[in-house]
Amino acid sequence: MENAVNFETVGFGKRLKSMLKVDFQRMFKSKLFYILIVCALIIPILITVMMTMMDGSVSVDPQTGVETVMQGPENAWQSIGTLPTDGGETMGGMDVMSMCNINMMFMLAAVFICLFISDDFKSGYAKNLFTVRSKKGDYVVSKTLAGFVSGALMLIFYFVGAMLGGAISGLSFDLGTLTAGNIAMCIMAKVFLMLVFVSIFVLVSVAAKQKAWLAICGSLGAGMLLFMMVSMITPLGSTVMNVVLCFAGGLLFAFSLGAVSNTVLNKTHLIY
Amino acid sequence: MNAVEIRNLSKNFGKKQAVNGLDMTVPMGAIYGFIGENGSGKSTTEKMICGLIPKSGGIVKLYGRDHTDESVRAKIGVLIESPGCFSGLSVWDNMMLQAANLGVKDAQKEVVRILKTVRMEGAAGNKYKNCSLGMKQRIGIAMALLGSPTLLVLDEPLNGLDADGMRIMREVLTDIVKDGKRSIVVSSHLLGELQKVATHYGIIRHGKMICEMTADELDANCRTYVALKAKNMSRAKSLLGCKYSRVEEDEAEYIRVYDMTTPEEIVTYLYGNGICVIELKTDKIGLEEYYIDLMKEGR
């Protein structure tokens, strides 16, 4: 037949490969990504240097007259995770170092993923994509993987920044009872834990579509629920067990929330 | 085999029925002008064809297959609302991203070829956000053409184009279908422009298809009228208005007589009443007038 149309079915691997290629190209061409990576590098340097400089300074509450002695970091590893002291106790508490640490990177990843996905819907890219690729699962997998890589890179750059900050401030790099393996396991556990957060951020973002503000608020809100648990699940003294648990948790969240994201995309309007 | 075959399609937004039992047939190789008032359901229908919004009922078949079929979806190119480009990237980068997404082989060559088709080869390096509206519409067509689709769904591609932009767009659309393998569904309110390219028409009203026809059928359906200019236009108009049931003055200041009559009869009648006719012609009403008449009949 002269006007016959040839139909081809593209396999999952090929579809995912092309989608990932686009997502990574976009990610590495995005200014926002580099801004966040620079933030991830600079934040630990600034915090470590600032806290070291303020170490020992006393502030007085004008109403109660209570004096507070500012406590700086004792160790370069402190901004990576909680450090077991000689007595086996952790250096917890609500000081600046326990709040402004590597776990902030989960928040940066939320901002990046939400803006990345909302841009797809705002620009009409998602509309073009879903016209020719009806399987929404591909999109969810691709965004989850791209988001995971971006989050992992932020964690790694934060780690580099923390080490630089420690070196600049002249902090001790003494591992005490820990080993370099523990530090590596801690970082790996955090990287795998990123998958849990990314799955949540992707779900919130595909539900919010082009409303970036809604996606960011929703993601940070949902992330906050798990945020406080990060330091407990991934302490500096992490072992293979922590890594395995975070990996398993990451996969579990990625599959279950990925399925929910897929359903959201299938059941809702992709264009208004 | 038809490119698009829709039967009893419906779409509800809550209690509002946007599309109500719509039937539509787009033959292969056709430029299908999809016409209707604002809110008549054109865009909703197009979005359902592309699977961008779920349908409430009915059947949508593309090339004899269900429109949700993965293999048939790969054959659609779409320009609905916006071209789907990232504003911070260049036209070339946007095209290359879309080509990568579709797994286009020899992407660079293909992008160059398509940019030439839409007369945009000189603007490949421009950032998308710096392109004019006319350029953006053509980039949208170029994006839709990537991956060699056999069905293009274009929603208002002529909007905001200047005269030259419209001419280029007309050429582009006719170029696309000239091999007979591709079909285009194009909605537009610029009926005069649409009439210059469309081979088939579908007119939708309140979510229902009220008529479908070919360009030849439209031509046969369009009434002939006599247009004239006289020395005393106001008197000529009032005299003709007394004798004929539908007499109107058009934008070019011609008096049009739509009744079944001959030019000779009109000239004789006016001459008999002391009016000298200085210009006379017969013509057919266009798509726009046909559509307006049809809408009036329906009210």
Taking only the tens place, the pLDDT of each residue in B72-106 is: 888 888 898 888 898 888 999 999 988 888 888 88
Model confidence band, residue A73 (pLDDT cutoffs 50, 70, 90): confident
Of B52, B85, B88, the CB nearest to A131: B52
Put simply, the answer to whether B71 touches A2 (Cβ < 8 Å) is no
Q: What is the mean pLDDT of residues B190-216?
A: 90
Taking only the tens place, the pLDDT of each residue in B50-71 is: 988 889 999 999 999 999 888 8
> At residue A92, does pLDDT exceed 50?
no
> At residue A200, does pLDDT exceed 50?
yes
Q: What is the mean pLDDT of residues B169-194?
A: 87
Of A9, A26, A127, the CB nearest to B97: A26
Model confidence band, residue A100 (pLDDT cutoffs 50, 70, 90): low
Q: What is the mean pLDDT of residues A20-25?
A: 90
Residue A21 domain flag: no
Which residue does chain A place closest to B179, by CA atoms? A3
User: What is the rounded average pLDDT for all residues in chain A?
Assistant: 85
**Lowest-confidence segment of A35-49, A91-105, B197-211, B279-293 by average pLDDT:** A91-105
Instruction: Note the pLDDT of residue A89.
Output: 41
Burial label for A242, CB within 10 Å (0-12, 13-18, 19+), is buried
SS (H, E, C) chain A: CCCCCCCCCCCHHHHHHHHHHHHHHHHHHCHHHHHHHHHHHHHHHHHHHHHHHHCCCEEECCCCCCEEECCCCCEHHHHCCCCECCCCCECCCCCHHHHCCHHHHHHHHHHHHHHHHHHHHHHCHHHHHHHHCCCHHHHHHHHHHHHHHHHHHHHHHHHHHHHHHHHHHCCECCCCCCCHHHHHHHHHHHHHHHHHHHHHHHHHHHHHCCCHHHHHHHHHHHHHHHHHHHHHHCCCCCCHHHHHHHHHHHHHHHHHHHHHHHHHHHHCCCCC
**Lowest-confidence segment of A3-7, A27-31, A43-47, A147-151 by average pLDDT:** A3-7
- ipTM for the whole complex: 0.73
Put simply, the answer to whether A123 touches B84 (Cβ < 8 Å) is yes
Residue A58 domain flag: no
| A and B: number of Cβ contacts within 8 A | 116
Instruction: Note the pLDDT of residue A232.
Output: 83
Residue A109 domain flag: yes
> At residue A93, does pLDDT exceed 70?
no
**Lowest-confidence segment of A61-70, A164-173, B60-69 by average pLDDT:** A61-70
Residue A199 domain flag: yes
Model confidence band, residue A146 (pLDDT cutoffs 50, 70, 90): very high
Instruction: Note the pLDDT of residue B130.
Output: 92
Residue A121 domain flag: yes
Residue A63 domain flag: no
Residues of chain B in contact with residue A210, where contact means CB-CB under 8 angstroms, are none
Give the domains, in start order, of chain B with CATH numbers: 2-214 (3.40.50.300), 222-298 (3.30.70.100)
Put simply, the answer to whether A22 touches B102 (Cβ < 8 Å) is no
Instruction: Note the pLDDT of residue B202.
Output: 94
Model confidence band, residue B263 (pLDDT cutoffs 50, 70, 90): confident
Taking only the tens place, the pLDDT of each residue in A177-195 is: 888 899 999 999 999 999 9
Decide: helix, strand or coil at residue B126.
coil
Question: Min CA distance, A14 vs chain B (Å)?
Answer: 8
Name which residue leads in pLDDT, A62 or B209: B209
Residue A52 domain flag: no
Q: Which of A25, A32, A128, A266 to mutate to test the interface with B (most CBs of B within 10 A)?
A: A128
Domain that holds residue A170: 35-47+68-84+91-267
> Model's pTM, two decimal places?
0.79
* Residue indicated by tokens 């890594």: A243
Burial label for A66, CB within 10 Å (0-12, 13-18, 19+), is exposed
Domain count across chain A? 1
Instruction: Note the pLDDT of residue B5.
Output: 94
* Residue indicated by tokens 């069905």: B151
- Single out the residue of A168, A202, A199, A175 nearest to residue A80, CA to CA: A175
Taking only the tens place, the pLDDT of each residue in B223-232 is: 788 899 988 8
- Single out the residue of A149, A141, A166, A177 nearest to residue A12, CA to CA: A141
Query: Between vectors from CA B94 to CA A116 and to CA A265, what angle results, nearest 5°?
Result: 45
Residue B18: phi, psi to the nearest 5? -80, -40
Q: Could you tell me which residues come within 8 angstroms of residue A183 by beta carbon, excluding any fewer than 6 positions away?
A: A77, A80, A175, A236
Residue A24 domain flag: no
Query: Between vectors from CA A66 to CA A65 and to CA A69, what angle results, nearest 5°?
Result: 130
Task: Give CA–CA dist B109/B111, Å, rounded.
Answer: 6
Sheet with strand B200-205: strands edge to edge: B76-79, B151-155, B183-187, B31-36, B200-205, B208-214
Model confidence band, residue A16 (pLDDT cutoffs 50, 70, 90): confident
> At residue A41, does pLDDT exceed 90?
yes
Residues of chain B in contact with residue A8, where contact means CB-CB under 8 angstroms, are 71, 74
Task: Give CA–CA dist B268/B274, Å, rounded.
Answer: 10
Task: Give CA–CA dist A195/A247, Å, rounded.
Answer: 8
Model confidence band, residue A94 (pLDDT cutoffs 50, 70, 90): very low
Q: What's the one-letter identity of residue A36? A: L
Task: Give CA–CA dist B267/B243, Å, rounded.
Answer: 13
**Cα-based distances in Å from A268 to B44, B255, B292:** 14, 53, 36
**Lowest-confidence segment of A77-86, B27-36, B74-83, B215-224 by average pLDDT:** A77-86
- Cβ proximity of A43 and B122 under 8 Å: no
Put simply, the answer to whether A135 touches B70 (Cβ < 8 Å) is yes
Taking only the tens place, the pLDDT of each residue in A223-239 is: 888 877 888 888 888 89
Name which residue leads in pLDDT, A54 or B57: B57
